Structure 1
Amino acid sequence: MKQIAVWENKKSTGSEFLEVKSSEDNSIAKSSIISIENDTPLKIEYKIELTNWFTKNVKIDLLNLGKSLYLESNQNHQWFDEHGNEITELSGAIDIDISCSPFTNSLPINRVDWRLNKPQSFLMVYIKVPELTLKKVEQVYTLIKEEKDYQMFDYRSSSFQSTIQVDKDGLVIEYPKLFKRKY
């Protein structure tokens, strides 16, 4: 199965083209992002390999800045860099959250059997772009509305709160003030 999504970045100038190819329990998401962050033009590509919506690895390339990041996770939620060195401060985190993409919100959303108004807490590796800094953070999602073609989630972290609308496949339709799906 192949899915394509295109998002407009509403916070700054930019857009994202995402393609997800899935077979059985495995998925590969590839994305290209053109954006301007803090007056810096960015050309970003990332690739995420998933098993049952758990992150196996992620590679992010900031093409015009010559910077990149590679992370790999195992079934024990340990994280490793491109050299196989464990990053102990990320231990226990389940997913990634890439600051410049709405797609990574789909990871916990697609993995959980949701019930209305029942919050679910996740430890995430927050990847800030363009700095490529890493931080383990707690994020809480609560399903607040479920319709035939979409779901609405309340999203909270220590410093941010928003409502996120996703389609029946768990891909973001609208993330107010940040991203809007165009395709």
Structure 2
Amino acid sequence: MDTTIVARWQEWEGSGTQHLVLNAGRDGLSVDAVAISSDPHPFAVHYRIEIGTDWLTRRVEVALVGRKDELVLEADGAGHWTMNGRPVPALDGALEPDLSVSPFTNTLPVKRLRLAKGASAEIRTAYVYAPTLEVFPDPQRYTCLEEGRLYLYESLDSDFRREVAFDEHGLVTAYPGLFRRLL
């Protein structure tokens, strides 16, 4: 049975918002979203993500509203990526994207890893920074504090860490300092 979930987030501090539509079907999931940032230099991003039933990302499209350039990342599900059709060996081992403007991308490792309470996992993501659309590998750790509901996110190349709360669908409800769920 196909399912559609609509979610909306606001920046923790600021007026930026994000509207996301997640469609789940037999063949996997697709996400279509727009994020409007109140960064000191405001911008808006449209992105789409295609995800397999195994919660592995297959394709990510990111475009800045009002600009012609678009970033297209494709993954083989085994940790190999292409960017706009060219291999990106620097991303080898990454299984998920992490978009700087989106709390949704935290859902991907949480759903894929299915960690038990107290368990943790170190991962590598294909980090996409907006508004420049630069892509680079980003090492992270997730620790389950409450199964399906609360995880400690830690950046492994900085001192950034946050307890991130999720709803019953695995969507972020609170990411202190970054995002809060509105809908």
Q: What is the TM-score when the length of structure 2 is the normalising length? A: 0.92
Partner amino acid, structure 2, of 1:72: E
1:28-67 paired onto structure 2 within 5 Å: 28-37=30-39, 39-51=40-52, 52-67=54-69
> 1:12-61: CA deviations, max 9, x gaps?
33100000001124100000111122x22212100000002111010001
Which residue is 1:117 aligned to? 118
For the 8 Å contact 2:77–2:95, the answer to whether it is kept is: no
Question: Sequence identity of aligned pairs in percent?
Answer: 30
Number of residue pairs the alignment of both structures matches = 178
> 1:86-134: CA deviations, max 9, x gaps?
0111111111000011000000111122211111111101111101111
- The 3-state SS of whatever aligns with 1:8 is strand
Q: Distance in 2 between matches of 1:31 and 1:22?
A: 15
Structure 2 gap ranges (5+): none
Q: Distance in 1 between matches of 2:13 and 2:76?
A: 34
Which residue is 2:81 aligned to? 79
Q: Distance in 2 between matches of 1:32 and 1:100?
A: 10
For the 8 Å contact 2:57–2:77, the answer to whether it is kept is: no
> 1:69-93: CA deviations, max 9, x gaps?
11101133111122x2101111111
Partner amino acid, structure 1, of 2:34: S
Structure 1 gap ranges (5+): none
Which residue is 1:16 aligned to? 18
Q: Distance in 1 between matches of 2:67 and 2:36?
A: 13
Which residue is 1:169 aligned to? 169
How far off its partner does 1:64 sit?
2.5
Partner amino acid, structure 1, of 2:120: P
Q: Distance in 1 between matches of 2:129 and 2:13?
A: 15
> 1:147-177: CA deviations, max 9, x gaps?
xxx6110000122100000001100000001
Aligned partner (choices 132, 137, 149) of residue 151 of structure 1: 149
